[in-house]
Amino acid sequence: MTTPSRTVLIGGASAFVGDSILGPTQLVEVPGMQYLVFDYLAEMTLSGFSQTRKNDARLGYSTEFVDYVLPQIARTCAGKGIRLVANAGGLNPEACAAAIEDHLAKLNLSMKVAYVTGDDCTHLMDQLRASDARDFYTGAPAPGSVDSANAYLGAPAIAKALALGADIVVTGRIVDSAATLGILMHEFGWRADDWDLLASGSLVGHVLECGAQATGGIFTDWERVPDWENIGYPYAVCQADGSFVLRKPARTGGLVEPMTVKEQILYEVADPAHYVLPDVVCDFTEVTTTSVGQDQVLVQGARGSMAPDTYKMSASYQAGYRCTAQVSVFGVNAAGKARRTAEALLNRTRHLLKTRGFSDFSRDAATVVGAEDGYGPHAQPCHSREAIARLVVTHDSAEALDLFSRESRAPGVSFAPGTTSGSSLTLNARPPVEPMHRLFTCLVGKARLAPPLVILAGQQHPVALNTEGSPPHPYIEAERQDSSYPEVPAGGTAIPLLEIAHGRSGDKGDTSNVAVFARDPAHFGHLKRVLTVGKVRGHLGHLVKGGISRYEVPGLQALNFVMDQALDGGGPSSLRTDPMGKGMAQMLLEMEVARPTPDPH
């Protein structure tokens, strides 16, 4: 066991495949930096890796980490002793580790590389189908075949790899925050049943995992965030008691204040009192954020309880093909011309499909970008002189969509004046026909999987886990509201919710969460009264087809709304212009509510 340090510095260097190189290059220059964590695996990323692995069995991992990021920071990390933990291994951690070692050899650097296996669940799919396992979110049965199936592993394997002396730890599918928690378990010697500490360490990881989202990125008050082009990526100064101070590198842009951190704490969280991770069930309801200096926020107060006896497992599978055409239209009544363009193109290609013996599109969605179609009944009249006709179609046949792709260029010479012939915002290009993937998500007992392995220098090191734990916690309860506050009666002065609140939305599959934070803690009680489930349903009902639950978070003066069937299937299954619901919080903040009145007491 490593002797506990007074503090441990951990930088959040990447939020997803394709994130900026700013994060790692900034953070390696922070004095005293000890670790960088990289998150590459969004929900659907593994489906993309499965496609590359089909073409080349040596791939299926983040080549960006190996070929682009590592060469720019490896020498600095080796010189300063900065250790790296990344889930860049995707579906092929072994190949990723081998590629890293090749790069290090070319740089003449001696760094120990370990990788973690044990998340692959493809061998369980027949058993899950035989037992009529159902999707965690939708209740749908397991698909007949899958391209990948992986359990979200936890932190112990990472702690083990670091204890064995690894300088770089590569994993496959892990829960995002586990990279950070594994570091803290190793550095501070936290036990696997130190529930409050594990919850606190998971909170550190949860704040760091999305990079600049904690330092002013996608912040409600975006106008106050300086120097986006040089936004600072976050790092945490962690204490052995689980508290931490969030900071950003000196002389960088961005903003670190209590509200930027609050917005990230509830991002993609369902029930904040029962945030279920493989290592612990977290309670974030009494977490507090306190400014302790310029761009420095102290975070503390997480609590934890016994870990579940299950892993979350996600399987990706192909469900046909999709094609997205976009046509630019200019001039008077551009929105009207764009809408007719989409309708005409859809009708034309439907007729052509029929004459060639193809079935109709399995799904289609026509949207005019610029006409506020996503706002539904709240859309304002559009008088813009430029718009984009966006048409998304899906089909079981790639050949059928190839016909659509070819026809999508024709509007430039046969439809409205002011129409650009290119259909994907590149002149004369035609949009690609792409495989469409979906997710099947369920819970699998930890005891059904072999223990994870850490492989270092060709040696396998099993990671002992306790597979006993608490039973699964239900994900959502439709139309639930944790409040005895009555709604404020009609009357009085109405104001946009934005005047008294911040908001941020997140996504998990087809579920969206919108967290709303009182700008003034004194207005939290008022927020609870005016922002009811019914009020949210009335404003976002054109997007939300499932249940809505409301959860109170007193420590952050926040309400968290979890909305099921809110994203038209979510991820690449969604045909919306905003498939991950990034704008849902923005829509909600425009809703009018009663102005707070002075408390008579």
Contact call for residues 23 and 14 (beta carbons, < 8 A): yes
Q: Provide the pLDDT for residue 3.
A: 47
**Helix, strand, or coil (residue 89):** coil
Whether residue 548 sits in one domain with residue 576: yes
Whether residue 179 sits in one domain with residue 278: yes
What would the pLDDT profile of 465-487 be if each residue is shown by its tens digit? 988 888 876 655 556 665 555 55
Whether residue 86 sits in one domain with residue 31: yes
What would the pLDDT profile of 438-451 be if each residue is shown by its tens digit? 999 999 999 999 99
**Mean pLDDT throughout 485-511?**
84
Whether residue 295 sits in one domain with residue 262: yes
Contact call for residues 496 and 531 (beta carbons, < 8 A): no
Report how many domains make up the chain. 3
Q: Provide the pLDDT for residue 323.
A: 96
d(CA 149, CA 46): 9
Q: Provide the pLDDT for residue 573.
A: 86
Q: Which of 373, 407, 437 is the last residue of a domain?
A: 437
* Structural domain that includes position 572: 480-594
E strand or H helix that includes residue 348? helix 334-355
Q: Provide the pLDDT for residue 422.
A: 64
| Nearest CA-CA partner of 329 in 391, 402, 379, 394 | 391
Whether residue 95 sits in one domain with residue 74: yes
**Mean pLDDT throughout 266-281?**
96
Torsion sign (Cα): 334, 337, 340, 346:
negative
CATH number of the domain encompassing residue 377: 3.30.300
**Mean pLDDT throughout 300-328?**
95
**Mean pLDDT throughout 132-140?**
90
What would the pLDDT profile of 58-115 be if each residue is shown by its tens digit? 999 999 999 999 999 999 999 999 999 999 999 999 999 999 999 999 999 999 999 9
**Mean pLDDT throughout 45-52?**
89
**Mean pLDDT throughout 359-366?**
97
| Nearest CA-CA partner of 371 in 363, 382, 361, 362 | 382
- Checking if the pLDDT of 373 tops 60, the result is yes
Q: Let me know if residue 411 belongs to a domain.
A: yes
**Mean pLDDT throughout 177-203?**
98
Q: Let me know if residue 456 belongs to a domain.
A: no
E strand or H helix that includes residue 175? none
Angle between helices 195-208 and 178-188 (to 10 degrees): 130
| Nearest CA-CA partner of 161 in 543, 561, 457 | 457
Q: Which of 268, 289, 308 is the last residue of a domain?
A: 308
- Give the CB-side neighbour count of residue 308, counting CA atoms within 13 A: 21
Q: Which of 262, 281, 308 is the last residue of a domain?
A: 308
Q: Cβ neighbours of residue 3 under 8 Å, at least 6 residues apart?
A: none
CA separation (Å) from 424 to 361, 406, 420?
20, 12, 10
**Mean pLDDT throughout 211-220?**
98
Q: Provide the pLDDT for residue 2.
A: 45
Confidence of residue 47 (pLDDT cuts 50, 70, 90): confident
Contact call for residues 133 and 142 (beta carbons, < 8 A): yes
Q: How far apart are the first and last CA of the chain?
A: 54
Please indicate whether residue 553 or residue 420 has the higher confidence score (pLDDT): 553
Q: Provide the pLDDT for residue 601.
A: 44
Q: Let me know if residue 445 belongs to a domain.
A: no
Whether residue 69 sits in one domain with residue 113: yes
DSSP state of 67: I
Q: Provide the pLDDT for residue 480.
A: 67
Whether residue 180 sits in one domain with residue 73: yes
Q: Let me know if residue 332 belongs to a domain.
A: yes
Q: Which string of DSSP letters, residue by residue, matches 568-595? A: TTSGGG--SSSTT-TTHHHHHHTSEEEP
Q: Provide the pLDDT for residue 463.
A: 97
Is 0.85 topped by the overall pTM?
Answer: yes
Whether residue 319 sits in one domain with residue 258: no
Q: Provide the pLDDT for residue 420.
A: 85
Q: Provide the pLDDT for residue 571.
A: 80
Whether residue 169 sits in one domain with residue 204: yes
Q: Let me know if residue 19 belongs to a domain.
A: yes
Whether residue 523 sits in one domain with residue 415: no
Q: Let me know if residue 461 belongs to a domain.
A: no
Q: Let me know if residue 474 belongs to a domain.
A: no
Whether residue 324 sits in one domain with residue 288: no
Q: Provide the pLDDT for residue 467.
A: 85
Confidence of residue 219 (pLDDT cuts 50, 70, 90): very high
Q: Let me know if residue 342 belongs to a domain.
A: yes
The percentage of residues in the chain with a pLDDT greater than 70, rounded to a whole number, is 94
d(CA 222, CA 217): 8
Whether residue 331 sits in one domain with residue 300: no
DSSP-assigned beta bridge partners for residue 592: 496
The four Cα atoms 409, 411, 412, 417 give a dihedral, to 10 degrees, of -170
**Helix, strand, or coil (residue 344):** helix
d(CA 403, CA 353): 8
d(CA 43, CA 45): 6
Average pLDDT over the chain, rounded to whole? 93
**Mean pLDDT throughout 159-174?**
98
